[in-house]
Structure 1
Amino acid sequence: MAIPSVSPSQHRWQIQITLSLFIGYSAYYLCRSNLSIVAPLLIREFGSQGLNKEVLGQIASVGVLFYAAGKVVNGILGDFLGGKKVFLLGMVGAAAATVLFGLGQGVVVFFIAWALNRLVQSMGWAGLVKTVANWFSYQTYGKIMGLLSLSYLFGDIVAKLLLGQLLGFGLGWRGLFMVAAGVLAATALITWFTLKNTPESVGLEAPPVSPESLFAGSRSQTATSPASLATLLQPYFRSSAFRLMLVMSFGLTALREAFSFWIPTYLVEAAHLSESAASQYSALYPLLGMVSILGAGYLSGGWLRGQRGLLILAACVLLVPVLLLMTQPNSNSWLPVLLISGTGLLLLGPYSFLAGAMSLDAGGRQGAATAAGLVDAVGYVGGTLALWLTGTLAEHQGWGYAFLALALIAAATAGAALIFYRTQERPITAAAAAV
């Protein structure tokens, strides 16, 4: 299907909206990647108070649990209140919670501050997805979400390189948290001026909505806000395809959260790198993830003809041997770096489909934020368990057992992707080939 042309004015606004969302969501990660970067320093300073890898994993897990709960609530709020408002509230709230953590003096404050941080951070993606649904035609969802999915990896890379360099300059972890909060707050102020909620708010026409969304055929399918909570939620729980998306999100997010948080600590302990070097080398994981997103988008949209489940299946099958290699002890510092890079290449592209283009396809203009919120919420329940499990196993049994558990999660996710492909994608492909 041909992508409809847009007016020069609408095109300029779409560029501005895209840049605002990309830069804004990237900035979120300064107040999200910071905890994993300073984790070795926190363990060293507060170890006498009982802060070890197990407790730090619990702090991260509680944060992800609050993030998961916030995904549901803020996804619904995004569809009712609008993307811009939710996006900006999340930025301001995350900056404030980061300051609170930086002022903390013990484990209890760290638990509370990190939970609050992740709760408000869950507004970010909901606001982004809702804004995209308002501004872009459904024919361009794959392209625009592929681009915006790079934002969280770009933000993760910038955070690890910048904050890691600040550690190298001698800045303490408290100062690092204050810098992260200040940059995010400044970005929120700029975004307040540059981001617009809908095309109608600047005198432009709304883009066409997807005829294949779960709301297709309803009288209000072109509305930016749902009529009621019941009409918003019912289509999702009636869809077997959407339920399978939730299962895959559970597994892929579990893997992503475990790696995103524990890589710097793993590189310090397994590769014997300094904290500064571990932070900077860990940027290879999201850097290869950016390549993964671009490659996955190209493969799914071209060669695989939209069969995203098949690509998720292939990625999970290949992840299993990579994770099993990480269970083995080694004496070379380069091998752990190589393996975490390979994980980013295999994992992050397929992961980006679920709360991106697949959620937009399901929710359309009316329910996109809720679709993404539900997918991410279930995913981050998996992330919560994976963070706790990885930290506990690494503390008491060693990193080998931690990565063995992650390999089992990858294998189970491959099974769910196989079911999705055989029941949802293969029949459609066969029918199209028969025409």
Structure 2
Amino acid sequence: MSNRPPQQLNIIIAMYLGYAAMMICRQMVTILSPALLADETLALTKTNLGDFAAYGTLGALVGKLIWGPLADIIGGRFTFLIGIFLTALFVIAFGLSPNVMAFTVFSFLLYCTKSSGWPAMTKLVGEWYHPHHYGRVWSIISTSSRFSVVLATLFFGWLLSFMDWRSVAFIAAAFALVVFIGCYFFLQEKPENPNFFRENQSDHTDTSDEGIALAKAAKQAVDNKYNHPLQDTSMGAGMLAFVKSPRVWLVVLMLMMLTCMMAFLDFVAVYLMETYQLSPSQAAMASTIFPIGSLAGLLASIAFYDRFSKKGIRTVLTIAMTLSLLSILTLKYLSWFNLSVEVNYIVALSAIFLFAFSISPAYYLPMSIFSIEYGGPHSAKLVSFIDAFGFAASATFAFIGGRLADSAGGWSSFMNMLILISAVGIVSVWAFMHAEYKAAKSE
């Protein structure tokens, strides 16, 4: 037996910690937002905070257009290392910012460099893991994003209770630099053996009909991997194939809606602070209910995603998206029930948890798996192409959301927009997964 398990374990741990470091750096804009708003020397408004998130998201969009093609050229490892190092530097710069213009610029640059993480990992996952394990691997890696945000929001929110916000930013950057050093030594670009996945392919002892079918499907998946239709094609030919594909445009629409829904996280701390009269530190820590819910959703997906057919996944994700819409409707109309403030607060946190729980599997997994399988040698470009549209939608959401929260309608107007996006999200998730189901049937 090859030394595959230790190698794969090292790679997934390095990716897990590296992406966590990048997410913590990126999340500092959100974690620090209540403290920035409370700092009278800065004179910031919720519109300013919405703009930070919006320009940051535009930075992520620009970053996708840069890092996707670059990752396909220079490889996942180098792209990943550059991303960790630069996000740490830009968090330090954000912590040194004296005014709105500086915050906006470094928010843009921070999000731009952080966006290198997903295309880099797309290349690494495609090089190191079997196609039938993509769902499990992406579920595990995606928990890095959510788990790091939970711990970072709790820890750095606690630090904000007795430490100034600039020092908190510097501590986050120091952690990222330590992780960068570890990833430099443990992360590898690809297996040395070109037949990495073909080894021991015949070692299947299950002679049942199901076992034989699974073995045949595994062999077909590996053959497709090594003989991809886009193998040896140019960047232009790959992009043209993507632009012509209806499935690509369906996943683009789906991710646009889901990225806007995930962007609610950028407003949760301020929403809770103003709605329930919390301190900035309390609001930052309470907002961890969103990443906790998202993390729980991803942990659940580890158990089911690779086990379900495309049809089964379509059903599960559609139901989950419907629950997310019901969660936002609960936040919108919670005041109608005339409950006590304490009960309202518990129900609101529960609704935010369920919202994040419901959307995270649909947000992270289908697009990531599709990008590797359909994109092949151009997988980083495809995942970045899709993500770019998502971030463009998210930037628009942040611009409008901050202004709606500051308007006469306040958070009620904000929730109206989120309800509309969630409704379209249900339709788009079903449509893409239905297209995937039909494509799987035709193979």
Fold in common (TM above 0.5): yes
- In structure 2, C-alpha distance between the alignment counterparts of 1:28 and 1:48, rounded to whole Å: 26
Q: How many residues align?
A: 413
Q: CA separation in 2, counterparts of 1:197 and 1:190? A: 15
Alignment partner, residue 390 of structure 2 = 379
Distance 2:369 2:230 in 1: 21
User: CA–CA distance in 2 between the matches of 1:269 and 1:19?
Assistant: 39
Q: Aligned partner of 1:381: which letter?
A: A
The percent identity for this pair of structures is 24
Map residues 1-400 of structure 1 onto 2, 5 A cutoff.
Answer: 7-46=1-40, 49=43, 51-168=44-161, 170-200=162-192, 205-207=195-197, 210=222, 216-218=228-230, 220=232, 227-257=233-263, 259-305=264-310, 307-328=312-333, 330=335, 331=341, 332-364=344-376, 366-396=377-407, 397-400=409-412
The change in CA–CA distance for 1:186 and 1:415 in structure 2 (over 3 A counts) is same
User: How does the TM-score come out when normalised to structure 2?
Assistant: 0.87
Question: Which residue in the other structure is 1:402 paired with?
Answer: 414
State the Cα deviation string for residues 145-168 of structure 1 (Å, max 9, x = none). Answer: 111111101111121111112112
- The CA deviation string for residues 350-398 of structure 1, in whole angstroms up to 9 with x for no partner, is 111244222222223x122122211211111111111222211111121
The Cα RMSD (Å) is 2.3
Checking the alignment, whether the CA contact within 8 Å between 1:214 and 1:235 is kept in structure 2 is no
Distance 1:359 1:210 in 2: 16
Alignment partner of 1:199: what SS?
Answer: coil
Change (3 A) 1:101 1:156: same
- Farther off after superposition, 278-287 or 177-186: 278-287
CA distance in 1, matches of 2:35, 2:288: 18
Q: Structure 1 residues 75 and 310 mapped into 2: Cα distance closer, same or farther (>3 Å)?
A: farther
User: 2:275, 2:41 → 1: CA distance?
Assistant: 19
CA distance in 2, matches of 1:204, 1:10: 13
Can you give the 5+ residue segments of structure 1 that lack an aligned partner in the other structure? 1-6, 221-226
Quote how far apart the aligned CAs of 1:423 are. 4.3
Aligned pair 1:411/2:403, yes or no?
A: no
How much does 1:196 deviate?
Answer: 0.7
- The whole-number CA distance in structure 2 between the counterparts of 1:400 and 1:104 is 32
Deviation at 1:114, TM superposition (A): 0.6
Q: Where does structure 2 lack aligned partners over 5 or more consecutive residues?
A: 199-220, 336-340
Following the alignment from structure 1 to structure 2, what is the Cα–Cα distance between the partners of residues 421 and 10? 32
- For residues 19 and 231 of structure 1, the distance between their equivalents in structure 2, rounded to whole angstroms, comes to 34
Contact 2:362 2:429 in 1 (8 A): no
Q: Which amino acid is 2:169 matched to? A: F
Structure 1 residue matching 2:163: 3-state secondary structure = coil
Matching residue's letter, 1:55: N
